[in-house]
Structure 1
Amino acid sequence: MLRRLAFLCLLGLAALFAAGSAGAAGAQSPIELRRATVTTTIDGVVQTETVDLSYHWDRRHHGRTGFASFDLPFTVEALPEVPWGVFIPRAGSAFEVKLNGALLQAYGDLSQSNRADYAKAPVYVPVPGRLLKAGENLLQIRIRADSERRAGLSRVTIGPAAPVRTALFESAYAWRFTGSVLLTAFSLIVGSIALALWFTQVDTGAIGRRQRDPIYFWAAVAEFCWAVRVADAMIPEPPLPWQLWGVLMAGCYAGWAASAMMFCYHLADWAQNPRTRWVRWPMAAVVAGTVVFTWLALNREEPRWLTAWLAVEIGIVVGFVIAFAVATARRPTVERLLVAGAALVTVAFGTRDWLVIRLSDAYGETTWVRYSSVMFGVALLLIVLRRFHFASVQARGWVKTLADRVAQRERELASTYAELEEVARDQARTHERERILRDMHDGVGSHISSAIRQLQSGQTSPEELLRTLRDSLDQLKLSIDSIHLPPGDVGALLAALRYRLEPRLAAADIAFEWGVDELPPVAQLDAHATRQLQFLLFEAISNVLQHAHASALRIEADARGGGVHLRVIDNGVGFDASEVPKALSKRAAAIGARLALESRPGRTVVQLGFD
């Protein structure tokens, strides 16, 4: 029984294998169309011929503008049961695809010159099954060829969608379009890193000027130029007129080459040697010459101008790379070896591209230098990162050294500050002693001198002499009190004044009245100004004691209207208020107080105001 089941299973597998083989044999393989009948129209002249594909328009017609219609017959053995598609590796500048007279797809407007350029990426065109027929079929591709835009038609493949799209189109699309996207992104990343380092890594050179490393700058310029140049493969419809766009793309290509050479120029330290500085001029000529000859080639529709100049440019670059390689062999470093290797490969690929793209009849080929540029970009990135790492390590060493120096300086400054603080305290004590002595000289000394003169004259009464000596003693006490007065504290000053003078007022039979409110500090009164205010008030009260013949004295102080106001009021005989005592006016002006006098028999007011 088991043997019978095993035999039946083997028969079933064999049948399935046979059916699959028969199905595979019945499905038609993709057809590569290698020959076509082409009808060209140039300046109104129409020609028809049979050609082998690929068809390179610029090489056959020397870059002139025109139209071409390609008839590509093919045979279908039986109506297909699966979807079909057409794979076109390269066609352009603009073109349209027809199958058996029906339009499949149009890429760009054939009536517009120098607009869209769809030769930059491979194309896959789905084929509706209803358009195919058993037997003979005709695929027609009509192109518009603009000068210097690599117009023409490569070999075309038509067949079942699965192998045509998967095996042919997707691979070609990945290399040419997706690869361009990745290359552009890589160049932008490398260029951004280099530019950021150029902006941030600033050093002070030997001559004292702040300098940036040109290595970073030229690496950034090279990568940005290359990013723009490679991005052209993703832009079928340029935003600028073709002549300007073509010059821009050629200029970016030359800018990349010149910037890469400037990178090598600084890497080899040629900028430090006056004998090698002339090397910069050929690099400038590479960019200027490319712009000029590209403009000539595009406007005259003569590709030979650009082809010839590119040969000169390659010669300049080859000479430079050889010189750099020789310099690297003489003084090898890891950085120079990396760049020299990448430069040699890039020059070899660039020469190959010039021979294949500019001189041969091959059409459908793509440039190799776009891929070798990755090696150069990687070398630039590695060098930039190595230099940044070295600069970071060096900077950390400088920071540590600087921190040690700052710490040492801080210790020295702390010691010096302590010494200065001690000196300042000594000076403050000295100044305070000098102030006390000066106050005693100006106040107490003047009163004692007055007493001496009174005694010498023999004309003074004992009461006047006693009053003079009491004034001297009171001022001495007030000078001592002023040492402990907080600056600006008018309330404390008045309290000290009351404490010292109230007994004397009582001895003189003068009633004392106190009308002082709680007062805020007066900001404009420092220690010196506070003492001046004290002497001013003492002078006003002393005048009352000596001259007013008053029986009552009142001191008032309040804070209103954002200021402090002081008043000394007595009920004496009064005086001529138009003549302000000089001692009062000078001291009031010295402390910035507003002095107001009011006097009549029975009421005299001395008022001071502070804002």
Structure 2
Amino acid sequence: MVVKQSSQVKNIKVWLLIYLLFICSVVYVSYSLNENPPHNTEISQGLFIASNAPTPSSIKEGEKVSITLPDMYTAKKLDVREGWYILPVPDVLLPNLKDKLALYVPKLSTNIEVYINHQWLGNGGRIDETASKNTHHPLVFYLDKKQLKDKGNTLFIHIKGGLPIWTYLSKVYLGDEKTITPIYEKQEILKVTLVIVITIGLVLTALFTLLFWFLRREETYYFWYFLAEILWATHDLKLFIKKVPFSNTLWETITILAIGWSIISFILFIHRYLLHYNKKTDRLIFLLGCLFSLPFLYQDITWITFYGYKVWLLFVATSGIYVFFFMLTNFKKTRDQTVLLMLMTGFIMLLFGMHDLLAVNAIILPSSPYLLYFSAILIVSVISSLLIRRFIENLKIVENYNDQLKWQVKKKQQQLESEYKKTQKLQEQQILNEERERIMRDIHDGIGGQLATTLAAIDSPDLTKDDIKDNLQLALQDLRLVIDSLDGDSQDITTILGTLRMRLGSLLEKADIKLIWKVQELPLLEEFGPENSLNIMRIIQEAITNVVKHSGATVLTISTYEEEKEGKTYSVVEVADNGCGIPENSTKGRGVVNMKRRAININASFKITSPKIKGSIIKLLF
């Protein structure tokens, strides 16, 4: 236990070191890439005139305010968001300049149009009401030294901001192209390229997380993390998109709401990821987010910026502080390193966000590099790795459950197979015992009874050898019937009758009775069995024996066919003769009674009739 705690403390120290290095690296890289050109290339003194004139020559005489760049307050004091900066180019710059020059503006809001000595140099895009947004874009304009006079050169910069508070201009630098261009390119990487790469990374990881959510819908923290990243990426669009297809007011509303709801989504994600949270607090934060979002419906740019940056972001920051202390409390209880990683990530995001908020409100230099989007690198790296690790852990748990389930199923299957084999063996033994008992009963009732009768009658002086022979033949015939019932297909009536024909044919020949065979194929009898086959054989045997002994017939007809009766189809076995017929009192004789009993045992209908002409007919219906 002591070793484990020591290992955890060591891991925490390592992570703290990693996070500290990340903060230092971001600050160092941001401010080092935020490099300015040499001091001897700057132009910082001049005048500001509040005017919406389209060109320098159309500027009317008005109040001129002396300014020193960077200028963050003049437009705000005059309560204007459009005007002209008139900047004399110091003559001392000219001797040091080469043929190819560059005019560099590192920071501005929102767009500018530049003239040198009334000659147009260029702009940062549209300068109309939907001016291109260059707030986070450095601008560079190239010119030849020939465009400059020997002395008395003047820069005219037409500026148009979103609001008076956002209408500002940094220092302007005029120098050699080779000196200015590398500095501009560094700024472009810092403020544009890097932001685009981070935004693409946010979108890709968000989509990847959305896939996790589709695969595991019950784990909703995947959805909230996806939403947080997508909203953050939406906010970051403001940092590099110059042109939008709708008004500045709506664009400002979308981006400021996006960063706020991104933080709220992160809070809801953390609640669900850590599991232990107050559901009432969770719902309250969501409802407060909806409530604080309603004032944005009033689409006035002054109101949106005031409410968004003074009220909405204050609410969001308060929510961020809450979740910070929520994770801190959770970590104190659980000492979970996962919570610590998220806690430190949230702290860095909060720290960078406060830095950017100070820059936006001009409490620190507006030219300061924004840091919040750098925290996205840390968040994506840390939280995405945690989500992937949890997803893999869940998969392992599911796989473990599946393996256990397979093992249990296999074990149960083996048990069932063993039980089935035992049951099958018992059933086979039971069937064998039942069949043995049936055969013993059949032998006892048939051949046993005949042999017993013959044995008892041997001592009788009236019994002849022929009688004994006939009795023994009958017993032997009965034994053969029992054996025949065990062979062949007991479900096929025609097969049963064919076997019987072979056994009783000699009896008919001795009695000089002609056999007419009209047997045709009949449907198979399901689950008929050897016992029922023997009963059919004995019924037909009894009928033939009666014909031979009592009818005096010369012709015996055995036929099979199908008969429709009351909407049902029956299979019929018929035994008919042309003898003297059956007297009425004979239908109650022992032989007929036995035939009826056997017919009942096999669920068949037994009928015996004696036509008026002559002969008798016995029918079995199945």
Relative to the length of structure 2, the TM-score reads: 0.63
Match of 2:232 among 217, 226, 243: 226
Report what 1:145 is aligned to: 161
How far the C-alpha of 1:357 sits from its partner, in A, is: 0.7
Alpha carbons of 1:541 and 1:260: their partners in 2 closer, same or farther (altered >3 Å)?
A: same
Match of 2:128 among 102, 110, 113: 110
Contact 1:286 1:313 in 2 (8 A): no
Q: Residues 166-206 of structure 1: CA distance to partner in whole angstroms, max 9, x if unpaired?
A: x223222222222222322333454455555555568xxxx
Report what 2:28 is aligned to: none
Alpha carbons of 1:94 and 1:264: their partners in 2 closer, same or farther (altered >3 Å)?
A: same
State the distance in 1 between where 2:165 and 2:472 align.
117
Match of 1:379 among 361, 373, 382: 382
Is residue 347 of structure 1 aligned with residue 350 of structure 2? yes
State the distance in 2 between where 1:500 and 1:88 align.
122
Q: Residues 553-596 of structure 1: CA distance to partner in whole angstroms, max 9, x if unpaired?
A: 58799xxxxxxx99989896999xxxxxx99xx99x979xxxxx
How far the C-alpha of 1:219 sits from its partner, in A, is: 3.6
Is residue 178 of structure 1 aligned with residue 193 of structure 2? yes
Q: Unaligned stretches of 5+ in structure 1?
A: 1-27, 203-211, 452-465, 558-564, 576-581, 592-598
Task: Give the secondary structure class of the aligned counterpart of 1:107.
Answer: coil
Q: Residues 416-462 of structure 1: CA distance to partner in whole angstroms, max 9, x if unpaired?
A: 23322223323433565687799999x989x99xx9xxxxxxxxxxx
Report what 1:428 is aligned to: 431
How far the C-alpha of 1:382 sits from its partner, in A, is: 4.0
Structure with more strand by fraction: 1
Is residue 60 of structure 1 aligned with residue 66 of structure 2? no
How far the C-alpha of 1:527 sits from its partner, in A, is: 3.1
State the distance in 2 between where 1:59 and 1:424 align.
103
How far the C-alpha of 1:335 sits from its partner, in A, is: 1.8
State the distance in 1 between where 2:409 and 2:79 align.
71
State the distance in 2 between where 1:537 and 1:94 align.
113
State the distance in 1 between where 2:496 and 2:79 align.
105
Segment of structure 1 superposing worse, 376-385 or 505-514: 505-514
Amino acid at match of 2:186: S
Task: Give the secondary structure class of the aligned counterpart of 2:122.
Answer: strand
Contact 2:513 2:555 in 1 (8 A): yes
State the distance in 2 between where 1:313 and 1:93 align.
26
State the distance in 2 between where 1:39 and 1:154 align.
17
Aligned length: 534
Q: Residues 339-384 of structure 1: CA distance to partner in whole angstroms, max 9, x if unpaired?
A: 2222222222222222221253843444312212333333323433
State the distance in 2 between where 1:63 and 1:516 align.
119
Is residue 526 of structure 1 aligned with residue 542 of structure 2? no
Alpha carbons of 1:145 and 1:513: their partners in 2 closer, same or farther (altered >3 Å)?
A: farther
Amino acid at match of 1:496: T
Relative to the length of structure 1, the TM-score reads: 0.64
Contact 2:126 2:132 in 1 (8 A): yes
Q: Residues 273-323 of structure 1: CA distance to partner in whole angstroms, max 9, x if unpaired?
A: xxx555435632663355234444745546322232123432443354245
Alpha carbons of 1:249 and 1:440: their partners in 2 closer, same or farther (altered >3 Å)?
A: farther
State the distance in 2 between where 1:469 and 1:145 align.
130
Alpha carbons of 1:33 and 1:424: their partners in 2 closer, same or farther (altered >3 Å)?
A: farther
Report what 2:584 is aligned to: none
Task: Give the secondary structure class of the aligned counterpart of 1:127.
Answer: strand
Task: Give the secondary structure class of the aligned counterpart of 2:358.
Answer: helix
Segment of structure 1 superposing worse, 428-437 or 253-262: 428-437
C-alpha RMSD of the superposition: 6.0
Contact 2:97 2:175 in 1 (8 A): no
Match of 2:260 among 254, 263, 267: 254
State the distance in 2 between where 1:194 and 1:551 align.
93
Alpha carbons of 1:429 and 1:356: their partners in 2 closer, same or farther (altered >3 Å)?
A: same
Alpha carbons of 1:29 and 1:373: their partners in 2 closer, same or farther (altered >3 Å)?
A: closer
Alpha carbons of 1:229 and 1:80: their partners in 2 closer, same or farther (altered >3 Å)?
A: same
Amino acid at match of 1:280: D
How far the C-alpha of 1:70 sits from its partner, in A, is: 4.3
Report what 2:316 is aligned to: 313
Q: Unaligned stretches of 5+ in structure 2?
A: 1-37, 54-58, 454-468, 562-570, 582-594, 605-610
State the distance in 2 between where 1:294 and 1:189 align.
29
How far the C-alpha of 1:80 sits from its partner, in A, is: 8.3
Contact 1:246 1:294 in 2 (8 A): no
Match of 2:336 among 319, 333, 336: 333
